[in-house]
Amino acid sequence: MSAARTLDWLLLLPSLLLLALLMGLPLAAMLATSLQPNVLLSFTGPALDNYSYLLSRGYYLQVIWRTLRMAGETTLFAIPLGYLAAMLLRNLSGRAGNLAIMGLTFPILAGPLTVVLGWMALLADGGPFLGPLVEAGLISPPRLLGSEAGVVISLVQFVLPFTVLTLYTGLRQIQPQMHEAAQSLGASGTARFLHVTLPLSLPSVLSATIITFSLAASSFISPHYLGGAGQLTLTTLVSQFIMATFNAELAAAAAGLLLLLMLASVVVITAVIGRFVRP
Amino acid sequence: MKMFGKLAGGLYLVLLYLFVAGPLLFVIATSFNPATSFPARFEGLTLSWYAAILQRPEFLSAAGTSALVAALASTVAVLVAFLAAYALSRRSGGAGGRGAMATLLASPLLVPQVVISLAILQLASAWGVGTGFWGLVAAHAVYVMPFALRLILTGLARFDFAVEEASRSLGGGWLATWREVTLPLLRPSLVAGFTFCFILSFVNLPLSLFLTGPDTATLPIVMFAYIESRIDPMIAAVASLIVLAAGTATILLDRFLHVRLVD
């Protein structure tokens, strides 16, 4: 038995080493960098001055708040939209179900960069979608490019496949006998949903919420191309610090803040939704 | 009433899929449009934007770099993920808390890719070295590993470890058992793991953001630089080719190996 345990640890060793060397160590180096003085701020490091600088300026507080707000808005749209889709997809089987799942993995594999190209055209006031509506005088130019709404629309589209696939997996694990039992006890469709499906699916709603929020908060491509300089989020702020103002220390601090905020959000989401999950 | 519900459900799904796939379909359509601006009205059909790619050697060499990075990163990821998944799935108990270990190994998924890129850049500069090609491979490998782990764990869930005992009781050593029994049976999920990792790495921009130089630019980085200055249908043609490759791989995996990202 102990020989088997040793073998297990040996087999796990390469992946743990990969994680430690290629993620743990770099993140430690990044956090160390974030505590150092730089061209903008002189202090004797290691100290938290870079963090207090970012947290004391209205401009950066806006960036932080925007990051969390956009991720929150994206999650609030994606979870109900995705839940309904997962409920409908659950009933598909065989070829149709297969195609439906493949259709969802497809945008993930095509990559967000190619998808965002499409959004840059579709969200443009003179684009093929909005252009005719504007010309016909049906709507005033919505100016979605460079707006928060534009970024959130594309973020919802970007996260939806992940949201739906997570919820779908969870919903498929609920045994059909549960519904049959509820039905035979005379529960109506609404009652079956409220008292059987919904409570049993809450663990997957929890993981879908965490995945959706994290993906939205860590997204770079959508805010970069569709938000631009007027809609900076923490990820695009990090890239600005590196590529435009060449301040590695503030970039590290902004990245550290993003990690911290994402961790805090996961804790909050788990606490809020976890209260409803029956043990 | 029931009929109406079914119709409404179907309509909802159609709209949702249009929303999810719409931008991609539009990019593909644009790549055949002869108009030189983007976005533009459709003026006909042409393949000239695809021919134009051939005039831009930086796209071709970047595609080569991306393929090499993706191949190396996916190989590392599948190797270590397979060993870990095997340990986590064995009936003999496994090391420590199985769920906790699987969660730990999936943790790169929750770290923003821009942050992984920055962290590797700053580790290299702390050591006083350039990141170079291997920094790029490192970032991609650690990011795709959880995807390989997930697919291989799914494959192992259907694997009956009793066949290994059978092989050993027939005199097969553990190496022979792995080579002749375990690996062939797990081949579909290993191939699928590699393919998905390869594609995810190939199309990824943020992981490479701070790690590429003039000689190590990946395809998404070259596209990124191109889009900063101008957008024309040629970039849509590049994107369409990527979509075509990703789509073909997905369909082949589904057809021949019956493997999907989700069961």
Over residues A55-103, the pLDDT tens digits come to 999 999 999 999 999 999 999 999 999 999 999 998 887 778 878 888 8
Q: pLDDT grade, residue A138 (50/70/90)?
A: confident
> Is A85 in Cβ contact with B83 (below 8 Å)?
no
Q: Looking only at Cα atoms, what is the longest distance across chain A?
A: 76
Token duo for residue A275: 């209260």
pLDDT at A195 over 90: no
Residue B73 in domain: yes
- What's the CA gap between A224 and A260, in Å, rounded? 21
Q: Which distant-in-sequence residues (6+ apart) come within 8 Å of A227 by Cβ? A: A146, A147, A148, A150, A151, A233, A236
Vertex A232 angle, CA A229 and A233, to 5°: 160
> Is A255 in Cβ contact with B114 (below 8 Å)?
yes
Nearest to B101 among A12, A217, A252 (CB): A12
Q: Position A273: which residue type?
A: I
Domain that holds residue B80: 56-257
Mean pLDDT of the A207-230 span: 93
> Is B122 in Cβ contact with A29 (below 8 Å)?
yes
C-alpha closest to that of A61 among A244, A261, A223, A268: A261
Q: Which distant-in-sequence residues (6+ apart) come within 8 Å of A100 by Cβ? A: A89, A92, B13, B17
Most confident of B74-78, B123-127, B232-236: B74-78
Number of domains in chain B: 1
pLDDT at B95 over 70: no
- What's the CA gap between B137 and A22, in Å, rounded? 10
Q: Which distant-in-sequence residues (6+ apart) come within 8 Å of B158 by Cβ? A: none
* A58: number of Cβ within 10 Å: 7
- The pLDDT tens digits for A237-278 are 999 999 999 999 999 999 999 999 999 999 999 999 988 886
Contact A97, A164 (CB under 8 A): no
- The pLDDT tens digits for B34-90 are 887 777 777 788 888 898 888 888 899 999 999 999 999 999 999 999 999 998 887
Token duo for residue B104: 């730990």
> Is B16 in Cβ contact with A26 (below 8 Å)?
no
Mean pLDDT of the B209-236 span: 89
- The helix/strand/coil state of A139 is coil
- What's the CA gap between B83 and B224, in Å, rounded? 36
Token duo for residue A101: 């799942």
- CATH at residue B151: 1.10.3720.10
Q: Which of A8, A31, A151, A219 to mutate: most B Cβ within 10 Å?
A: A8
Q: pLDDT grade, residue B181 (50/70/90)?
A: confident
Token duo for residue B154: 């799914």
Report chain A residues whose CB lies below 8 A from the CB of B199. Answer: 109
Bond prior to A46 in cis (omega within 30° of 0):
yes
Q: Give the pLDDT confidence score for residue A146 in this predicted structure.
A: 85
Mean pLDDT of all residues in chain B? 87
Nearest to B39 among A25, A107, A128 (CB): A128
> Is B27 in Cβ contact with A115 (below 8 Å)?
yes
Report chain A residues whose CB lies below 8 A from the CB of B114. Answer: 218, 220, 235, 238-239, 255
Report chain B residues whose CB lies below 8 A from the CB of A126. Answer: 39
- What's the CA gap between B235 and A270, in Å, rounded? 41
What residue of A is the nearest CA neighbor of B6?
Answer: A88
B60 in A contact zone (CB under 8 Å): no
Q: Which distant-in-sequence residues (6+ apart) come within 8 Å of B200 by Cβ? A: A108, A109, B143, B144, B147
- What's the CA gap between B197 and A170, in Å, rounded? 24
- List b or e across B80-103, with b for residues whose CB sees 16 or more CB atoms inside 10 angstroms: bbbbbbbbbbbeeebbeeeeebbe
Residue B63 in domain: yes
pLDDT at B96 over 70: no
DSSP string, B64-81: HHHHHHHHHHHHHHHHHH
Q: Give the pLDDT confidence score for residue B171 in this predicted structure.
A: 83
Nearest to A85 among B13, B261, B263 (CB): B13
> How many Å from the N-terminal Cα to the C-terminal Cα in chain A?
32
pLDDT at B189 over 70: yes
- What's the CA gap between B10 and B5, in Å, rounded? 9
Residue B159 in domain: yes
Residue B29 in domain: no
- What's the CA gap between A260 and A239, in Å, rounded? 18
- What's the CA gap between B162 and B180, in Å, rounded? 14
- The pLDDT tens digits for A96-129 are 887 888 888 888 888 889 899 999 888 888 777 7
pLDDT at B94 over 50: no
Report chain B residues whose CB lies below 8 A from the CB of A243. Answer: 210
* A180: number of Cβ within 10 Å: 11
Q: Give the pLDDT confidence score for residue B213 in this predicted structure.
A: 85
Q: Give the pLDDT confidence score for residue B1 in this predicted structure.
A: 62
Place of tokens 């491509």: A221
Provide the CB-side half-sphere exposure for B69 (13 A, CA): 37
Report chain A residues whose CB lies below 8 A from the CB of B246. Answer: 106, 109-111
> Is A26 in Cβ contact with B114 (below 8 Å)?
no
Q: pLDDT grade, residue B258 (50/70/90)?
A: low
**Taking a contact as any Cβ pair under 8 Å apart, which residues of chain B between 200 and 229 contact chain A?**
200, 202-206, 209-210, 220, 223-224, 227
pLDDT at B29 over 50: yes
- Helices assigned H by DSSP within chain B: 2-30, 48-54, 57-89, 98-105, 113-126, 132-157, 162-169, 174-177, 183-202, 219-229, 233-252
Indicate if the alpha-carbon torsion angle A207, A209, A212, A218 is positive or negative: negative
Domains of chain A: 55-274 (1.10.3720.10)
For A126, A140, A141, A142, B201, the CA distances from A136, given in Å and listed in that order, are 12, 10, 11, 14, 43
What residue of A is the nearest CA neighbor of B94?
Answer: A8
Q: Which distant-in-sequence residues (6+ apart) come within 8 Å of A269 by Cβ? A: A206, A209, A210, A213
